[in-house]
């Protein structure tokens, strides 16, 4: 399928403010996978919130060797990074980092969370295993994407799925669009060059994972320059599925 590149200024098919829910596995995933797009959306007036399925306790290092302590560190870092991008609510489930499972109970839980929030747009990560030639997609990234896909369709909007949630007062939600980030098969590419720096500023809040923020920024600016010698633009890529108009 042909990938369509859109300049954010022309991204006007959402006529009213959208309620956008980002569902990913770990703290820092939103900023790494789609930080420029998130910053662009909040600037456009859309409401963005995060639901992270783990607290990232296995992102340990010499400086942060204790996973239980690291959970709280990463929660604080994620809140700080979200503030940079203009994100509202940041919520965490407590699935074990590195061992996230796609099973019925976890799907049931995620459907309930989606029904509570009633999002218009849901964003997760593509559940493919390999990412180009140099990266094996983390199993939690894959599982978060698969859980989200299965929760969004057909369960979240269908009265026949998990009817006990309906009896408890949760309403089905008819999600308009599902977006998958970190994909090798995009059908939409956004030019978010104007949001490169704010994305870096958000990522620099994740000190437990990136180390020295200044060196991190230097590395990523160099990487961008090497990767975009011709135009110095920055793009983020998605698989976008329009479920209803």
**Closest to 162 in 3D by CA, of 221, 105, 83, 201:** 105
- Per DSSP (E only), the strands in 31-82 are 47-54
Indicate whether 214 pLDDT > 60.
Answer: yes
Long-range CB contacts (within 8 A, 24+) of 100-109: 100/25, 100/53, 100/54, 100/139, 100/140, 100/143, 100/144, 100/147, 101/143, 102/143, 102/146, 102/147, 102/150, 106/147, 107/147, 107/150, 107/151, 107/155, 108/162, 108/165
| Cα separation, 199 vs 18, whole angstroms | 21
CATH, domain range 4-242: 3.40.50.10320
Q: Residue ranges of the domains in the chain?
A: 4-242
Q: pLDDT tens digits for 132-185?
A: 667 788 999 999 999 999 999 999 999 999 999 999 999 999 999 999 999 989
Q: pLDDT tens digits for 95-138?
A: 999 999 999 999 999 999 999 999 999 999 999 887 666 778 89
- List the beta bridge partners of residue 5: 189
Q: pLDDT tens digits for 62-87?
A: 889 999 999 999 999 999 999 999 99
Write out the two tokens for 108: 């049931």
- List the beta bridge partners of residue 11: none
pLDDT band at 225 (very low <50, low <70, confident <90, very high): confident
How many C-beta atoms lie closer than 10 Å to residue 117's C-beta? 16
Helix axes 213-227, 196-203, angle to 10 degrees: 150
């Amino acid at each position: 399928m042909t990938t369509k590149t859109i300049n954010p200024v022309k991204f006007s098919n959402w006529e009213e403010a959208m309620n956008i829910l980002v569902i990913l596995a770990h703290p820092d995933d939103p900023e790494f996978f789609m930080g420029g797009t998130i910053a662009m959306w909040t600037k456009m007036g859309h409401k963005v919130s995060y639901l992270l399925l783990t607290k990232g306790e296995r992102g340990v290092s010499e400086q942060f060797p204790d996973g239980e302590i690291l959970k709280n560190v990463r929660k604080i870092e994620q809140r700080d990074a979200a503030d940079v991008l203009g994100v509202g609510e940041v919520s965490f489930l407590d699935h074990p980092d590195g061992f996230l499972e796609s099973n019925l109970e976890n799907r049931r839980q995620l459907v309930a969370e989606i029904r509570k929030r009633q999002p218009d747009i849901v964003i997760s990560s593509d559940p493919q295993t390999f990412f180009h030639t140099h990266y094996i997609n983390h199993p939690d990234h894959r599982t978060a994407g698969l859980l989200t896909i299965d929760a969004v369709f057909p369960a979240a909007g269908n009265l026949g799925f998990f009817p006990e949630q309906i009896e408890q007062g949760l309403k089905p939600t008819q999600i308009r669009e599902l977006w998958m980030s970190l994909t090798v098969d995009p059908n939409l590419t956004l030019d978010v060059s104007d949001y490169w720096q704010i994305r870096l500023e958000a990522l620099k809040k994740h000190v437990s994972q990136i180390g020295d923020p200044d060196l991190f920024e230097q590395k990523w600016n160099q990487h961008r320059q090497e990767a975009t010698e011709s135009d110095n633009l920055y793009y983020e890529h998605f698989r976008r599925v329009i479920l209803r108009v």
